[in-house]
Homo-oligomer: A and B are copies of this chain.
Amino acid sequence: LYLGVDIGGTKILALVVSAQGKVLSRCKKKVKETDPESVLARAWQCSRVALREAGLGKKAITAMGLAVPSAVSDGIARFAPALGWRNTPVVELAQQHFTGPLFLGNDVNLGLAAEYVLGAARGCQTVLGFFLGTGVGGAVIHQGCLLHGEDGLAGELGHLIVVPDGRRCGCGNRGCLEAYASKTALLARLKEALFEQRLPSVLARSIKPETQMINSSQLFEAYQAKDPLTREVCDGGLRLMGPALASVINMLSPGRVVLGGGLVDAFGAPLIKRVRQWTRPYIFSGPERAQVIVQSALGDDSVPLGAALLAREAGKLLV
């Protein structure tokens, strides 16, 4: 049995997973303090609850995988802006709690790897993943290998440029997909529009100037209820997925483009349908190729499941 733990900027999700990739139990906890020691103590607490739920002790676990929102090498999280970590020796610190074999990976890479091995991208040669949440994460698998590129920074699909000289992105550049289609970007647009009082909105009650983040399901409820402002803002930002996805399809001709992350989980199949519509007019080899765009099959579990697979493969997952 394996433990797979997804450590995010706001939540931790721990899974107990069988060697066949079956999820036996799960536990989710909020991140309170973001210093490495507190986060890893919390991750272990979360893991123990998942173990208890499965009726197991930690001796039942062969190895543990940890996923972090960071570039990773040698068990160290190089830079995780969501947690404020830089060169954090995650494996070393986690070893205080779990003494068995421990492996560290990047969350988006592990999420796409899980979709490739067990989920929506099985049997494909070339697979891309876009994960829409606080940011827009990306990963690329080609012929069974995760692409890292010549400086380890490949796969930054959130930083495809969709509008030259466009909106300022969190990365400091302009016009990135993340500056339009992330939850952060949608929240910023909603705040602007509420301030300008352009359209009425049910979200006027829940979004205040001091709101740091918005709940994906709240956003979806307002969208489903045809709240005019939510429709305008969400469609206005998310439609730029169209040119971005078409660009990568025209470039790599993948077998699957998997959409995942909190926003996609909340919006579900209707969003996939709309993204296909937004992509179709831009595909070089014909609009029917938009069918390669699919929803994550594993949802929230994809990243911790990928972490468990990393543990199962002793750190050598799709390399």
Chain A positions near chain B (C-beta within 8 angstroms):
124-126, 138, 140, 142, 147-157, 159-164, 171, 173-176, 239-240, 242-244, 246-248, 250-255, 281-285, 289, 292
**A284, B242: Cβ atoms closer than 8 Å:** no
* Cα separation A289 to B160 with both chains bound (whole Å): 15
* Cα separation A174 to B243 with both chains bound (whole Å): 10
Please name all residues of chain B whose beta carbon is closer than 8 Å to the beta carbon of A157 when the two chains form the complex: 250-251
**B248, A289: Cβ atoms closer than 8 Å:** no
Please name all residues of chain B whose beta carbon is closer than 8 Å to the beta carbon of A175 when the two chains form the complex: 243, 282
**A251, B164: Cβ atoms closer than 8 Å:** no
Please judge, given known A-B contacts A243-B175, A282-B173, whether A253 and B154 are in contact too, CB under 8 Å: yes
Partner of A148 from B156, B253, B283 at Cβ < 8 Å: B253
Partner of A173 from B147, B150, B281 at Cβ < 8 Å: B281
**What number of copies of this chain does the assembly contain?**
2
**B174, A150: Cβ atoms closer than 8 Å:** no
Please judge, given known A-B contacts A160-B250, A173-B281, A251-B160, whether A150 and B138 are in contact too, CB under 8 Å: no
**B248, A151: Cβ atoms closer than 8 Å:** no
* Cα separation A140 to B154 with both chains bound (whole Å): 14
**A156, B254: Cβ atoms closer than 8 Å:** no
Most buried by B among A173, A242, A247, A281: A247
Please name all residues of chain B whose beta carbon is closer than 8 Å to the beta carbon of A124 when the two chains form the complex: 150
**B242, A159: Cβ atoms closer than 8 Å:** no
Q: List 8 A-B contacts (CB under 8 A).
A: A140-B252, A153-B250, A154-B251, A159-B250, A164-B242, A164-B243, A173-B284, A251-B251
List 13 additional A-B contacts (Cβ < 8 Å) besides A140-B252, A156-B284, A161-B244. A126-B147, A126-B149, A147-B252, A149-B253, A149-B254, A152-B253, A159-B246, A161-B282, A163-B164, A173-B281, A173-B282, A175-B243, A251-B251
**A285, B153: Cβ atoms closer than 8 Å:** yes
Please name all residues of chain B whose beta carbon is closer than 8 Å to the beta carbon of A253 when the two chains form the complex: 147-154
Partner of A251 from B125, B155, B284 at Cβ < 8 Å: B155
> A246 — nearest CB in chain B belongs to which residue?
B161
Q: Which 10 A-B pairs have the closest CB atoms?
A: A149-B253, A161-B243, A154-B253, A159-B284, A159-B250, A150-B255, A156-B250, A160-B247, A153-B285, A164-B243
